[in-house]
Chain A
């Protein structure tokens, strides 16, 4: 029994690891870019958004996987979207109730988790074929991978754009704020640079992939 158990555990670890590093949704699969750009001007917003996304990815992957044998192929997409939407409603209501200010700042982007391709991609590409616990881990890994990249981007955007981190001023008063960092172009530049850097560090694969 022991080898199988070990095998299973290592499978779980590699599934998690794949989402966070090897096949990171943002810079490898190029999924979920919209919110990566929109919510990263402040670290607080990013953290809340990432937490919401981790919850939704993990739970919807789990649910889709549980229902994978009883879902007819034709309505598969629809069923997945409905499952995802239900979890997003939970997150949306929770954020509205406990963090009204952040809910205001995030605007429609919480609702847009539904159409975040990471979740759809993982449900379709992984959860529809794999058992529930593994799918849960896969969703969790991808969610965390997404959150880490987002926090990195938000760190630099908030630091350079506002001179603050989590709202607390850290740079000296004389620092000229890079206003462009908190404006839309700054988001694009920052994400482009992060992708460049991480893809340089990682073993380069075929350049055509993903884009």
Chain B
């Protein structure tokens, strides 16, 4: 099977192999931050940015540094350091540009570091042996897919405030089930692009 082009990967990682709905990555912040559209949008944008950047950087770190030296097993550490540094950068930028958003995101901004979606994308592109362009496309698409999912969920949860939900089902449990229905809907996209 020939490897798909960057654009195909971009589309596929949004709809078909959605990083959240199909690969279950980035669930924690997804559940925690999807209560309001505004914060979801902020975090979604930050994730797209960080993910694209880190997948590009990590591609180089892996192929130019770790592989030639035979240190592939250090990739977890190397990737997480790159991610942490990038998040720090994004944090400083957001604090400067939009203090309101900065406070709205609060603790969740540094938590992007431990958002498994970011590390997951970097690990997937190593496993799938993507080229640089493919990696960038996968990073951007993965971020966009995640942002799409969290925005949709924030919309649903804002509406849901008016519904009466069983007390024990409230919060994370109903969010899980809603996500399940969303994942079900996204299965409809499968087969559109051969992956």
Interface residues of A (CB under 8 A from B): 27, 30-35, 37-38, 77-78, 81-82, 85-86, 88-89, 92-93, 107-108, 111-112, 114-117, 120, 180, 183-189, 191-193, 195-197, 199-200, 204, 207-211
Contacts and interface: CB of A to CB of B under 8 A. Distances in A.
Contact of B170 (A37, A183, A211): A211
Given A30-B32, A32-B28, A185 B181 contact: yes
A108 B187 contact: no
A80 to B, nearest CB: 10
A184 B24 contact: yes
Nearest to A39: B24
A190 to B, nearest CB: 8
Interface stretch (B42-50, B53-61, B114-122, B134-142): B114-122
B24 A37 contact: yes
A115 B181 contact: no
A31 B168 contact: no
Nearest to A38: B24
A108 B128 CA distance: 11
B contact residues, range: 35 or more
A89 B127 CA distance: 16
A203 to B, nearest CB: 10
A111 B184 contact: no
A60 to B, nearest CB: 13
10 closest residue pairs by CB, A with B: A211-B171, A188-B180, A192-B176, A108-B123, A192-B177, A211-B172, A33-B27, A195-B173, A37-B24, A199-B168
A185 to B, nearest CB: 4
Contact of A192 (B23, B74, B173): B173
A189 B177 contact: yes
Interface in B39-83: 73-77, 80-81
B104 to A, nearest CB: 18
Given A108-B120, A207-B167, A34 B28 contact: yes
Which one of B118, B124, B173, B175 has the greatest number of beta carbons of chain A within 10 Å? B173
A196 B166 contact: yes
